[in-house]
Amino acid sequence: MAKRDYYEVLEITKNATDEEIKKAYRRLAKKYHPDLNKGDKSAEEKFKEISEAYEVLMDKNKKTNYDKYGHAGVNSQFGREGFEWSNFTHFSDLEDIFGGGFGGGGFGDSIFDIFFGSSGQRGGTYRPQRGRDLKTGISITLEEAYTGTKKSLKMNKGLKCSDCQGSGSKGGSPPKVCPSCGGSGRVQARRETVFGTFATVTACNTCGGRGKVIVEKCPKCGGSGSVRGEKTINID
């Protein structure tokens, strides 16, 4: 079956702007999304068709080739095998359209959860997250504001556990390599979606992406490596 004209697929003219192309895709993607048409193969094929058209028309080089040579100009990417999601480069636009959970429609995962695993660990590696900034107030006189002064503040914050030296392990013993991920902090799984089978890489649930596990937790800090305590900070 011959492919339809991409402009016809998106119901736009050849003079359509990028914004008009995106607007048309937004409207049609919401209409034909497979999760809104469960079991409807024609809707699924339509969704792939409009996504293929969008992929080409939103890329300047592909669009130029298509306008000059038609489908032959982009057949190297969308040839006999047809459209493949591995060729789609506008997942961020799908995220914009459907948001976290496809526009609040109750679909659960975000678009990145579906294609690449947990959106919080898209790269599949663990990176420690910076904690919240600590804020406090201090009063100074007008004279101190002009001439400068030194102040000392006592703040309650997380301090390195003195028993385990921040390791979280009892007696300060080093953590062990995670048996689930072999120390990589990542696990791979195959996931079936409406778009096909995808191999996803996510943070290991056993070690939280760290690659190491604590065999026996420090009784003082409970394995966190830190305890609440008071620290004096000098301000010049």
Q: Where are the domains of the chain?
A: 6-116, 148-236
**Furthest-apart CA atoms within the chain: distance in Å:** 84
- Please work out, in degrees rounded to the nearest 5, the angle formed at the alpha carbon of residue 232 by the alpha carbons of 228 and 236: 145
Give bridge partners of residue 159 from the DSSP assignment. 227
CA distance 143 to 149: 9
The pTM for the full model equals 0.40
Identity at 176, one-letter amino acid code: K
pLDDT of residue 125: 43
User: 3-state DSSP call for residue 155?
Assistant: strand
CA distance 72 to 61: 14
**What's the number of CA atoms in the CB half-sphere (13 Å) around residue 149?**
11
What residue ranges in 58-150 does DSSP mark as E strands? none
Give bridge partners of residue 188 from the DSSP assignment. 201
Question: Is the domain covering 148-236 a CATH 2.10.230.10 domain?
Answer: yes
- Do strands 196-203 and 186-193 pair parallel, antiparallel, or not at all (unpaired)? antiparallel
pLDDT averaged per 10 residues in sequence order, the chain, 236 residues: 87 94 90 83 89 89 90 65 52 52 40 42 47 74 83 81 84 84 82 62 82 87 84 80
Characterize 9-39 residue by residue with b for buried, 16 or more Cβ atoms within 10 angstroms of its Cβ, and e for exposed: bbebeeebeeeebbebbbebbeebbbbebee
Nearest CA to 116 out of 51, 188, 213, 36 is that of 188
pLDDT of residue 112: 44
pLDDT of residue 79: 47
CB atoms within 10 A of CB 113: 19
The CATH number assigned to the domain with range 6-116 reads 1.10.287.110
Structure tokens at 77: 């990417």
- Please work out, in degrees rounded to the nearest 5, the angle formed at the alpha carbon of residue 187 by the alpha carbons of 215 and 210: 40
| Close Cβ partners of 4 (under 8 Å, ≥ 6 residues apart) | 49
| Close Cβ partners of 62 (under 8 Å, ≥ 6 residues apart) | 55, 56, 73, 74, 77
pLDDT of residue 13: 95
Structure tokens at 41: 């193969």
